[in-house]
Amino acid sequence: MAKLKVAILISGRGSNMAALIEAAKAADYPAEIALVVSNVAEAPGLAIARKEGVPTAVVSHRDRPDRETFDRAVSVELERHGVELVTLAGFMRIFSPWFPTRWAGRLINIHPSLLPCFKGLHVQQQALDAGVRLSGCTVHFVIPDLDAGPIIAQAAVPVLPDDDAERLAARVLAAEHRLFPLALRLVADGRARIVVAPDGSERVAIADAAAPLDAILNPLD
């Protein structure tokens, strides 16, 4: 079966990107990484992608007068490479509504909290300030609202008494590296789909009876 052509958008380190590239090397993985795009020319993740032989592109937001112009330039790159699904892996730009509308149902993001808790920046500090016992990460379809959209998969990690934001972020990041490849697999092979709930809201349904567990990683796994 033909693999889905996937792009990864990054702004920095690219460790989630590396986890996706690694997962996509498996013969039975339903997606291939066709392109890595960064809005930051110096993003360390770009060097990792190049070393892995993945095509890269830089679309700087600095050269564009407004958000939508930037979004359209990114989209042109994606189309040029035949991209069918876009993943956001530490991509730290807010889109105009144009981009999530253009890629609706084909745009997924990883966020380092159990959404809908703790959106935006300084996420781990928000979790520590709230005194939660569990935090984690979420992979979700992207809609025009920030850090919102139908949830595909989540992983939980414990918050420990001596955690600071850095220690908690490292524990969450390790879970991200496991969760994102699983979630992308569910989307790429067509098992995770957006459905409209009776109240009109959108949810993700996972088709195969055994697979929903793939979308939940527990701290004791």
**Of residues 155-194, which lie at the interface with ligand GAR (CB under 6 A)?**
173, 176
The whole-angstrom separation of Cα 107 and Cα 138 is 14
Q: In whole angstroms, how close is the CB of 90 to ligand GAR at the nearest point?
A: 3
CB-based contact 113:119 (threshold 8 Å) = yes
Q: In whole angstroms, how close is the CB of 211 to ligand GAR at the nearest point?
A: 23
Of the two residues 31 and 38, which places its CB atom closer to ligand GAR in the complex?
Answer: 38
Q: Which residue is catalytic, options 111, 122, 140, 177?
A: 111
**Of residues 28-67, which lie at the interface with ligand GAR (CB under 6 A)?**
45
Of the two residues 34 and 108, which places its CB atom closer to ligand GAR in the complex?
Answer: 108
The whole-angstrom separation of Cα 42 and Cα 65 is 21
106 part of the interface to ligand GAR, by CB under 6 A: no
Residues in the chain: 221
111 part of the interface to ligand GAR, by CB under 6 A: yes
110 part of the interface to ligand GAR, by CB under 6 A: yes
Q: What angle do CA 60, 61, 64 make, to 5 degrees?
A: 105
How many secondary structure helices (H) and strands (E) does the chain include?
A: 6, 10
The whole-angstrom separation of Cα 21 and Cα 8 is 9
The window from 8-16, 72-80, 94-102, 154-162 that contacts ligand GAR (CB under 6 A) reads 8-16
Q: Please pick, from the candidates 37, 89, 108, 184, the single residue that binds ligand GAR as defined by CB under 6 A.
A: 89
Q: Could you tell me whether strands 151-158 and 134-141 are parallel, antiparallel, or unpaired per DSSP bridges? A: antiparallel
Of the two residues 126 and 193, which places its CB atom closer to ligand GAR in the complex?
Answer: 126
Q: In whole angstroms, how close is the CB of 24 to ligand GAR at the nearest point?
A: 15
Of the two residues 112 and 149, which places its CB atom closer to ligand GAR in the complex?
Answer: 112
Cβ-Cβ contacts under 8 Å for 10 (sequence gap 6 or more): 17, 36, 37, 38, 43, 45, 46, 89, 90, 91
Residue number with the shortest CB distance to ligand GAR? 90
81 is catalytic: no
Give the count of beta carbons closer than 10 Å to the beta carbon of residue 164. 10
> What residue ranges bind ligand GAR (CB under 6 A)?
10, 12-16, 45, 89-90, 110-112, 147, 173, 176
